[in-house]
Chain A
Amino acid sequence: MSFTAKPVITVTYTFRDNDGKESTSEVLIPGATTAAAAVTFANALRLLIVALSDAVCITQNVILGYYENAIPTIPSSDIENKGVFLFNAANGLKSSIAVPSILEAVLQANNQDIDQTNSDVSAFIDAMTLGLSGTNPVNASGTDLTSMREAYKQNRRSHLSGRTRKG
């Protein structure tokens, strides 16, 4: 089992009309395209599409995807049992990340708090606060995450349409 690049890169443009309704235009390009070339293409194509529409283009996404090419038998698990990690950002705001189906092995005896001394947990916290391969994660406004605030398990219902709910 290994992660493999998807055969296509997806470029999407979302348009909003004067009633506030939104719709998306999608163009595919070969997965072998470099990331930088894909973005250059997306920027150029947007101008051509915008010229034909009287709505406003409000977002452009270039999605570089990978998939697991041999999904193993999935062990007992529940993606609604989240490991919630709250981080402090350099601008004073908080930022959270939820890990689906957090391993029970990384929980403390109270079965709720996450054991931050666990080596896999501390590797994750280091990656989030110190960076990984020279890249530092940030919050949604682009500010560095500086320290861990708290980490605990929380059950959150799934709202994916067409799939079974649990919990």
Chain B
Amino acid sequence: MALVQRTHLVRLTFRDDDQTESTCEVNLASGVDLDSALTFLAGWRSIIAALSSAVCVASDLLVRLAETHTAGAGLDSDVTRQGTFIFTTAAAGLAVVRVPSIESSRLESTGPYAGIRIDQSQAAVGALIDALTNGLAGVEPCGPFVSDLVTIDQAYKELF
């Protein structure tokens, strides 16, 4: 059981005059360095656009890992039970990160919010919050409007 690198995926999105969209995809070997893959993406976009009467409106490079053996989920696992972490951002906004199938043991076990509020005193919980607010491997996560995540506001279990 291991996450292994899949081929990189180059994806172009085209839109026609009815505003309907469709994608065109090509794989690149997983060993291709990412700068080369981005160079390929730009060149390939021009080549494909020359063959289409629709307009290319977006292009993406997906760097992908996939699990080779997908069994092994815990007996109590349930992806509809999610850990919701709400952060304040530097622009005074809010941003959410969710953890599917949050372990029940990560929730407070006593008090009025037992089984609901995520126990931020746990080391593993604190490590995730620290990574999202202070950065990890030199990268600072952000909200959808590129504003840094600053502090944790609330963390609790939600069912979807």
Footprint of B on A, CB under 8 Å?
3, 7-8, 15-19, 21-31, 33, 35-41, 44-46, 48-49, 51-68, 71-72, 74-80, 82-83, 95, 97-104, 106, 120-121, 123-124, 127-128, 132-142, 158, 160, 163-166
Contact = CB atoms under 8 A, between A and B. Distances in A.
B3 A57 contact: yes
B91 interface: no
14 contacts: A27-B141, A29-B142, A35-B63, A36-B34, A51-B127, A54-B74, A55-B78, A64-B63, A77-B54, A78-B53, A78-B54, A99-B52, A158-B22, A163-B20
The 9 closest A-B pairs by CB, nearest first: A54-B74, A55-B101, A35-B34, A23-B79, A101-B54, A79-B22, A23-B100, A17-B77, A41-B139
Given A35-B61, A56-B77, A100-B23, 13 more contacts: A17-B100, A30-B139, A30-B140, A39-B34, A56-B73, A66-B59, A66-B60, A67-B58, A77-B16, A124-B50, A132-B40, A132-B47, A160-B20
A61 B3 CA distance: 11
A78 B128 contact: no
A125 B64 CA distance: 26
Nearest to A50: B99
B82 A23 contact: yes
B28 interface: yes
Contact of A54 (B43, B103, B144, B160): B103
Contacts, number: 303
Interface string B112-140: 00000000000011011001100011111
